[in-house]
Chain A
């Protein structure tokens, strides 16, 4: 497997995907912990569908998809956050309506624009060929921003994740940090969608964190475990997809699923 890994990294497009993938996995597992622990994992899923709709519109309008999607998905993230917190409306249903509508709109627009050459599958399931040099640069910039912001606010993020009511009472700006988290989540979704696909990117936010919950007793430890697991699963998934010529996104998600099962077993027998 190591020989295959070294061999595949000789290809420029795989090297780009490798670097982008490492950045995406680090960022998604950082943010994922808070979303999963607050039972807001579906925000990631909803946003990925919005990202698909936005990218479809951008492609049809011949605009750079990532730059176009980032503000739209960021606004949707804040909207979804508000919907999920609003006790007066059924937040879950509202998120489902928004995400399904965005997915339907994207599919509809792509199908009626027959003159535009778009591979629907690559948007939905991701493609290792999709990461251009420009995408990689954007990915690095966005990745650095996400990691920096998370590290800067990690203690506040812990406080609002553990006990929002207490955090609010002692004067932590809970709404501000919720908005920051939702925005960071939207950035990850957009940069990760090209490689993992709209249907699978949210799994990168959820799986490593769930596995880490079985391995660590502390918040800090669970985030470190989540990042390490996510990177290992990404490298294994990418390499296997290269060897077996399987879809990269799906293979990475399956590697994460195996890691989750192994973590659960470890937790049961230890």
Chain B
């Protein structure tokens, strides 16, 4: 089943195309990594998917037409003051605001399930800003899961994580991928360290969309 379909997407600033006639599709339980050098348009493409930037032409179609509101999103480097008073539970619960009415309660079961899945139930009462980088990313991933367990969009989630935290985070993503479709923008994957089953490369020297295995073959041939 196709979760996200992009057809002939083009975006330009002035006369300069950020991307041109871009087409790709994500099937259910795919794990697509969008790679490319700085300035290749990875984050801009994400902004188009999130509806923040309108492309000049082309079509973005989600599994159902209203799905833009039920995307689980992990932004790049959310910046908070060190004294920001927010508990882990409050942060994770805020992911459900796209599904509940003004007078409804938070979906407790869904929140607790996300806390358990990401192994952060024991720190639910702790202050978010006092956590380590790896713990924070897991909390924000739990919030994204509460927002949607169908499609997770992650924008460079391993930034500012040390090597061990990064590896642990990727293992968590691989586990989540068994039941969730993932689209991840990243710049720190080299061909020895690829995760996911599909790659979209926005590198102008090596444009590519296909399976990870084929991408590795293409890199070696290149």
**Range of interface residues on B (Cβ < 8 Å):** 35 or more
**Given A171-B69, A217-B126, A37-B97 contact (CB < 8 Å):** no
**Given A153-B102, A166-B78, A169-B71, A219-B86 contact (CB < 8 Å):** yes
Q: Quick one: CB contact mask for A154-180 with B, threshold 8 Å, 1 for yes?
A: 011011001101111111100000000
Q: Is the interface of B mostly helix, strand, loop or mixed?
A: mixed
Q: Quick one: CB contact mask for B115-137 with A, threshold 8 Å, 1 for yes?
A: 00000000001110010000000
A213 CB–B CB distance under 8 Å: yes
Q: Check A155–B87 contact: CB distance below 8 A.
A: no
Q: Check A162–B71 contact: CB distance below 8 A.
A: no
B99: shortest Cβ distance to chain A, in Å? 9
B85 CB–A CB distance under 8 Å: yes
Chain A residues near B126 (CB-CB < 8 A) = 217
B81 CB–A CB distance under 8 Å: yes
The segment out of B25-33, B88-96, B194-202, B203-211 that lies at the interface is: B88-96
**Range of interface residues on A (Cβ < 8 Å):** 20 to 34
Q: Check A220–B90 contact: CB distance below 8 A.
A: yes
CA distance A165 to B102 in the complex (A): 20
Q: Check A165–B78 contact: CB distance below 8 A.
A: yes
Which residue of chain B has its CB nearest to the CB of A162? Answer: B86
Chain B residues near A152 (CB-CB < 8 A) = 102
Chain B residues near A172 (CB-CB < 8 A) = 97-98
Q: Quick one: CB contact mask for B100-123 with A, threshold 8 Å, 1 for yes?
A: 001000100000000000000000
Q: Check A163–B75 contact: CB distance below 8 A.
A: yes
B52 CB–A CB distance under 8 Å: yes
A222 CB–B CB distance under 8 Å: yes
Q: Check B85–A217 contact: CB distance below 8 A.
A: yes
CA distance A163 to B74 in the complex (A): 10
Chain A residues near B164 (CB-CB < 8 A) = none
Partner of A37 from B72, B84, B143 at Cβ < 8 Å: B84
Which residue of chain A has its CB nearest to the CB of B99? Answer: A170
B80 CB–A CB distance under 8 Å: yes
CA distance A171 to B127 in the complex (A): 26
Q: Quick one: CB contact mask for A170-214 with B, threshold 8 Å, 1 for yes?
A: 111000000000000000000000000000000000000000111
Could you name 30 residue pairs across A and B whose Cβ atoms are closer than 8 Å?
A: A152-B102, A155-B97, A158-B86, A159-B97, A162-B84, A163-B75, A163-B80, A165-B78, A166-B73, A166-B75, A166-B78, A166-B95, A168-B52, A169-B50, A169-B153, A170-B70, A170-B71, A170-B97, A170-B148, A171-B68, A171-B98, A172-B97, A212-B85, A217-B87, A218-B87, A218-B90, A218-B127, A219-B85, A219-B86, A221-B85
Q: Footprint of A on B, CB under 8 Å?
A: 50, 52, 68-75, 78, 80-81, 83-87, 90-91, 93-95, 97-98, 102, 106, 125-127, 130, 140, 143, 147-148, 153
**A-B pairs with the 6 shortest C-beta distances?**
A171-B69, A217-B127, A222-B85, A169-B73, A170-B98, A218-B87
